Structure 1
Amino acid sequence: MLGYHPSNTSLIKLVPTQHFYQQLLEAVDFSFIRPFFEPFYSTIGRPSIDPLVFIKLLLVKHFENITSDRKLLELANLHLGIRSFLGYGLEHPLPWHSSLTRTRQRIPVSVFEACFTQVVGLCIQKGLVSGHTQVIDSAYIKANASMSRLKPKPSIWSSETIPTLGKRTAPRLTASVDRLQHIHRFQANIKKATPNKSGQLLSNLTHYSPTDPDARIAFKTGKSRQLAYMTSVSVDPSQHVITHIQAGSADRRDSRNLLPIVDSTQGRLNHFGVVMSNVVADAGYCSGENYEQLEARGLDGFIPPHGKYKDERSGFHYDIPSDSYTCSQGKRLGFDRLVVDKQDNAKKRYAAKASDCKNCPIGEQCKGKKASAKRLHHSYYKAQYERMEKRLSSRFGKRMMRIRSATVEPVLGSLINYYGLRQINTRRRESAAKVMYMAAIAYNLKKYLRFTPVE
């Protein structure tokens, strides 16, 4: 007969042993979680969510590619395998989604990072991580804020920048006058070219999101602008295990993030006795300072120079011992002084003598009509750039660049499309970092479960 019939059966009998969550329970001992959470749990008062249940729920969220806490608890209530994974019987009610959200807000990001480091250690112990080569890349992750709610930044002397009790102040307008004038001219040209369109080109220099002040306007060629965070990952090419992940500002250059990523990854691997020797990344991470710092750390970089770098000057020969150029007429251009361009890049300036250029048959064509002598500039880090190009042109360097495209791009694609990182459902950068750590843990655990070591 149809109807309600009480049952004494257990979930162990209902869930097959070969089910993913059952295999994960058998393969991984999650007891390492409790010591990380212990300082933040009180022994008195109303009991909170068990740390193991909390972390397992967040893992399920990324395993099932869910971005909403409500949807997560709806699925967990109906899914026998998830209930068994959490340790809840059929008769036990699961936590409320609001409790899950509050616990995530209360626990600091360092706890999530510690859990991630522990899982990386499990992968190292099982042989999934070689460690000697790390591939670095980044991607935009959509923030939980709308472009339509953006507000202009107030000036430094505005009342909105004066702190009041219990109210967050708006970020100040810190762009220079020249930069603001350039933006206004750009906006005017857009309106002139498309008078029938009401839209405008918004910038991080002039606007901010009151919903999530840490989110930044991000854009790529051919795609619409959106509020986003930058997720940067370091991946071991052996089995594509994520060895580092971090949340950053979407308006920050990749080259500014390289050294913090390298230091964090190297420190984590050294903690488990793994030596890192190669760093592979695309041209977005290129800078002379990065090349120099990688060499100072004893690391071989494989990062192509960007298109603005010129290794040669047509008609001029550079002599390394004397640090000088020689023109096609045999005249010497000695080192003059160091200069800094508008992008804060250090450059070395070389200048010829005015007397040499005065009687030169091609002087006007070479130096121009107004200049009294020919001047040349090259990067302060020219030697580092040349060593990098030599390294990349080698057979091993070409192999490293093939490894880069085949390693890190599929990992980022998997995190975004299959591990719940298509959008950050929380606000502020620390909360975004917690979500990214949990997505990386879920990704690594699935790698850990499916890997069979070679005997």
Structure 2
Amino acid sequence: MDRLVPLDNYYRIIQRELSFDFLYQVTSKYYGKEGQKSIDPVVFFKILLVGYLNNINSDRALIRYCSNCLDVRLFLGYDLNEDLPWHSTISRTRQLLGEEVFLELFRQVLSLCIDKGMVQGRRQAVDSAFIKANASMDSLVEKEVLEDASAYVNELEENSEYKVTSTRKKLVEQHHNWKKEEFKAMPAARKAIQLDEDGNEIRPKFLSNHTHYSPTDPDAKISTKPGKPRQLNYAGQLAVDDKHHVITGACASTAGSKDSTIFSEIMDQTLSNFKQNDIQIGEVLADAGYSSGTSLQYCEDHNLDAWIPNFGQYKPEREGFIFNKKENRYECIQKGGNKAFLPFKRTLTDSKGYEKKSYRSS
């Protein structure tokens, strides 16, 4: 089989450039010395790598692909007459291994990219993207309604994420009814009426993360982007080096999470990844979704120059006032203002999740 695979084959290059031997040490706590022999950790991660490179997201399809390809068999160390691991073994092993194992592999690859001069490290761009969940919108079911707040508190320990108070449900339903009326005036509402198999009119469903969830994947959230259909998603956060666009940090969150609330998590990992390679990041680029006082404070605390535009309601100045940083208050400088000042009162969180400081006289 070795003679049948060209010397410049892609998987030969990976085998030559990337050593997987460190995986034996980082996965040792998951393997015992007795009992039936399990899948080789190097083989497992190589199979996952093949799936990623070929955009195969089904374990059944992945094993079938690996079995049929000579170069992949050579890469995995399996001869033509040897059976590859079952697809269920891949699924179970993926669930068994902790995040630290996958992160260690990521850091090993990043170190190789740094050694090859592909990563500069000075400037990182951060952004997010939806990752489609393996669950259908048709799988959504209504959360169990709790009659009052006290019952809600009593059942917090019992799958509280999948329950909703009757008061909250009523508010959400009012919002959905408003959306339904607004929908009537839209061009899409004037399309021909569709009927189901029983002759009933098919009406658009207004579903919300507040009132519905998917038993197939409870962590997936309903989300959408302009011009895209609503579907169940996760959110992937990525940090990318601006020299050759190498990914330097990655983490996942629910699709309903604000980018600004995940900023510190993705940056903590990215800074840690670079610290292992003795590289100091200097600048961070991100869109307005990451703009918040907490994000900017994080950048200041870590000596990072932040190129993040402020969101629409932000005002850099207050006309007629100057800010006294030492006293943490605004002071009136207009004539006749009697040098009045507005001290800091508290920090508020608005409906969009942004934190705002409140300065007022009473």
- Structure-1-length-normalised TM-score: 0.68
Tell which has more relative contact order, 1 or 2 (C-alpha 8 A, sep 6+): 1
Matched, 1:151 2:158: no
Does the aligned pair in 2 maintain the 1:154–1:171 contact within 8 Å?
Answer: no
Q: Which residue of 1 aligns with 2:128?
A: 138
Structure 1 residues not aligned, in runs of 5+:
1-10, 352-374, 376-455
3-state SS in 1 of match to 2:125: strand
Does the aligned pair in 2 maintain the 1:204–1:217 contact within 8 Å?
Answer: yes
Matched, 1:259 2:264: yes
Identity fraction in percent: 37
Structure 1 residue 71, shift from structure 2 partner? 1.1
Does the aligned pair in 1 maintain the 2:130–2:235 contact within 8 Å?
Answer: yes
Deviation readout 1:200-259 (Å, 9 max, x if unpaired): 221111111111111111111232211111100111112211111111111000000001
Measured at CA, do residues 30 and 222 of structure 1 come closer, stay the same or move farther in structure 2, by a change above 3 Å? same
Q: Distance in 2 between matches of 1:326 and 1:176?
A: 50
Deviates more, 1:248-257 or 1:295-304: 295-304
Q: Distance in 1 between matches of 2:312 and 2:125?
A: 21
Q: Which residue of 1 aligns with 2:49?
A: 59
Q: Distance in 2 between matches of 1:24 and 1:129?
A: 19
Q: Which residue of 2 aligns with 1:188?
A: 177
Q: Which residue of 2 aligns with 1:335?
A: 342
Does the aligned pair in 2 maintain the 1:141–1:229 contact within 8 Å?
Answer: yes
Q: Distance in 2 between matches of 1:192 and 1:238?
A: 50
Does the aligned pair in 1 maintain the 2:330–2:341 contact within 8 Å?
Answer: yes
Given the alignment, which residue of 94, 101, 121 partners 2:84?
94
Does the aligned pair in 2 maintain the 1:187–1:200 contact within 8 Å?
Answer: no
Matched, 1:346 2:356: yes
Q: Distance in 2 between matches of 1:325 and 1:274?
A: 45
3-state SS in 1 of match to 2:21: helix
Structure 2 residues not aligned, in runs of 5+:
194-201
Deviation readout 1:45-104 (Å, 9 max, x if unpaired): 111111111111110001111111111111111111111111111121211111111111
Q: Which residue of 1 aligns with 2:286?
A: 281
Matched, 1:221 2:226: yes
Q: Which residue of 1 aligns with 2:15?
A: 25
Structure 1 residue 340, shift from structure 2 partner? 4.2
Q: Write the letter of the residue equivalent to 2:356.
A: A
Does the aligned pair in 1 maintain the 2:43–2:76 contact within 8 Å?
Answer: yes
Q: How does 1:20-419 map to 2 (within 5 A)?
A: 20-156=10-146, 157=151, 169=159, 171-173=161-163, 177=167, 180-193=169-182, 194=184, 198-313=203-318, 316-321=319-324, 323-327=330-334, 332-341=339-348, 343=350, 345-350=355-360
Measured at CA, do residues 327 and 183 of structure 1 come closer, stay the same or move farther in structure 2, by a change above 3 Å? farther
Deviation readout 1:264-294 (Å, 9 max, x if unpaired): 1111211221111211111100001211221
Deviates more, 1:92-101 or 1:325-334: 325-334
| Larger relative helix fraction | 1
Q: Distance in 1 between matches of 2:129 and 2:303?
A: 27
Structure 1 residue 139, shift from structure 2 partner? 0.3
Measured at CA, do residues 174 and 308 of structure 1 come closer, stay the same or move farther in structure 2, by a change above 3 Å? farther
Measured at CA, do residues 326 and 350 of structure 1 come closer, stay the same or move farther in structure 2, by a change above 3 Å? farther
3-state SS in 1 of match to 2:101: helix
Does the aligned pair in 2 maintain the 1:153–1:170 contact within 8 Å?
Answer: no
3-state SS in 2 of match to 1:135: strand
Q: Distance in 2 between matches of 1:174 and 1:327?
A: 50
Measured at CA, do residues 332 and 181 of structure 1 come closer, stay the same or move farther in structure 2, by a change above 3 Å? farther
Matched positions, count: 334
Does the aligned pair in 1 maintain the 2:27–2:101 contact within 8 Å?
Answer: yes
Does the aligned pair in 1 maintain the 2:345–2:360 contact within 8 Å?
Answer: no
